[in-house]
Amino acid sequence: MRILDAHFVTSAVDGRGIPRDGVPHVALVGRSNVGKSSLINALAKRRALARTSAAAGKTRLANLYRFDLDGGPGGPRRPGGIGRWSVYLVDLPGYGYARGGRESVAELRGIAEAYFEAGLQPCPTNADQPSRADIRGVLHVVDARHPGLDADLDAARWLESLETERVIVATKIDKLTRNERATNLGALKRQLGTAPLPFSAASGEGLDDLWTLIARLSR
């Protein structure tokens, strides 16, 4: 798989600012400072495509990044097709900036709900293609070091209610010892209902698996 181009497209505050051009969307949802921007930069193999910050709560808009690619992960064939394909990765505002789990998730909902309301509606297509929603899946990004946070559990329940496919990505896995890793990943699986994908923007662990997931969601 080759990345032909990766670039920032726009910041949106509501559904009117979201591109509806038939290119699939994969949304990133997670607590403030969980590493969503670093994840996007790792996927792009560029340090500064998405802005990162040590201060929580810097992402206050839905930021859309378009990736144009050729082939699929691990070979020339993309799952479900061959050749060039595109996807929008959408970095939504981080929850958890305010204290308290439910209050934190409420912070997310203003912009995020507007994005999901627009993106989960069938998008306009030509008569030869079935109508499909823009949003094909959600990457729920959690910190592998801190399983069981109320804000993450509340967000998981909210995402389940959207009835779109949800994948758990456990970031900063390189910060854990082997025993901590096994314990925390097991706890996240029990708490969130599905096995998380371990990921590290620093070491690159999980990068190929993440691209495989994104390609599958984008079919």
pLDDT single digits (tens) 143-154 = 999 999 998 998
> Which stretches of the chain are assigned E, i.e. beta strand?
2-12, 25-30, 62-70, 77-78, 81-82, 84-91, 135-143, 166-171, 197-198
pLDDT single digits (tens) 65-93 = 999 999 876 544 444 455 899 999 999 98
Regarding the domain delimited by 2-217, which CATH topology (the fold level of the hierarchy) does it fall under? Rossmann fold (3.40.50)
Domain boundaries, the chain: 2-217
pTM: 0.85
pLDDT recorded at residue 53: 47
Percentage of the chain exceeding pLDDT 90: 54
pLDDT recorded at residue 193: 93
pLDDT recorded at residue 80: 47
Q: Which residues of the chain have pLDDT under 70?
A: 52-60, 73-82, 96-109, 123-132
Mean pLDDT of the chain: 83
